[in-house]
Structure 1
């Protein structure tokens, strides 16, 4: 049979249901329904055990208030009741194991207190932080998290699944930082440029360096280092087909070369062109420089000749301009092609922009020649018509030139050639009629006085009396417009 409980002291107040304990431990020792033998000698039913030092009564205390008083509590339930309660609690506990761990089901747990762990290491084990998730913890810290779409690992991986070193090429192994030069502050040094077969990032030393990298060196005169990018793959087995790109380390000038390999061997190193290989401007004449669009007037708008003067243009290329000095035949808008031979002999071809005239000239290293038409040039003005040929031949003519006699037996008239001759031309004239006597010209003479272009027509007839009439002549001259 259960014994009475008397440990500690109590304090009670008249009309109050609360009992305070000092030095008491009521939880688990007494139960609601037990009887309190109070300091006033009366018995009171316990309503609730609030804590180890506080309980409440069903009825208010009737005696006078006291503190630090003796008391006793008599259990009202027998051993059988307590046994039944304990048995029921045990059954509930066992059932929770049957429904949980014994059936393979565990609570969620946390990172610090995993739900599946060992007695000796309670902060290391498994927990279930969310739907379709399993986490592992070690020392109270999550290390992995497995979900339906990913497996998160929060610590370094080591062991046989990881590369043994930076160039370990075993199939299936996980790569580490600096594997084949990736992610490392310093790439791995190539051992032999011709026989290394592993893709990656490396470095080597030029041919003039004391530690020059073996193999066919891309920079045989370099006394320094260069970077090397190696690519390997394709048919034919490992290393049968490869590419290499070498880039020289230089703060002032970058230079890159590349080559490839197939089953027959390596190709020669070839240089990668960069901006330094291009013309600096359209007139850049650096030997070997790559031409850009607009170079020397090709592939873009032709530039204006130097000083807007065709005499100054002594570089091979196209130029164009408007009202350019030393253009041909007074043309205003001209495109000109200059061709040079070592800078001491030049030929220029010019065409006006309407395409009507095409001229050429030469420079002998000292003096420009005059412009010569390549196609026949034909024109007319108030002095008649003319045509010029590329070989220097020129013809001028005029029709129905009036010559008037006023009561005279002779008369003369000066005319100017439509285009100047370089020397005295051959000149002929024929009558083409008159006013009063169409066919009566009498005797006439025509002569070319000089090479400046002033032929004189001199008419004379021998009738007894003077004559007043207007006669008409056609004249024609042939000669050279340049010698």
Structure 2
């Protein structure tokens, strides 16, 4: 129905205007249409708007970005925020102090974070995802019926490798004894080459203790070890044939290389020793075991 305007007539008497009955009919018709439409549109027309986009009071009319990820604009939270209590769906920014944060956060260290919250069934399932605002922090956890699971670190190219103590899952290092790789599950591999200066006569041996590792193992690892005797000091000169022997002491294998005293250019090795004296020898090793 089009709007029916009541004719008021000529002021001040209203001469020529609608008589009372006609004016009342127009009012009745228009108010009836309003009431009919009101029953169709429901209660939203008479409800209060949210005062902010994370206002979840019952009966409020939602504003743009409400009860969701607020259109990508983070809601800034003040100092002292408890992440355990942050359970309303949205995106938040923590620029001050907070509690119950992800690994790597503690009293005195509060890296600024974005917190993205997804809710499935209000109060039943809650997912928190955190991302560093100025760093590479990334972790997730979920809440089920009021109980928070532990934080789980999300690994990227920035934190896969590093130190175990800092939460990395791969640690690699080198030192004077060789190289090593540690894995978060406790596996460790070591490898390297060591030069040992020692005068060794033909038929004699120098032992290499498998405990001479760049990092200590827990328990007994497996080993692949080779030795090479050299005619000169510091790993120089001709290579001399070497016979590898192993034995054990205190439950740990010891590897001994016997100087055969024969140069490859002279003959094939045998247990008849030659006369060449070694001044040094190489030890090549690869070991696999556990660091924890």
Normalising by structure 2, what TM-score?
A: 0.49
- Answer 1 or 2: which has greater helix percent: 2
Normalising by structure 1, what TM-score?
A: 0.33
Larger radius of gyration: 1
Structure number with the bigger relative contact order (C-alpha 8 A, sep ≥ 6) is 2
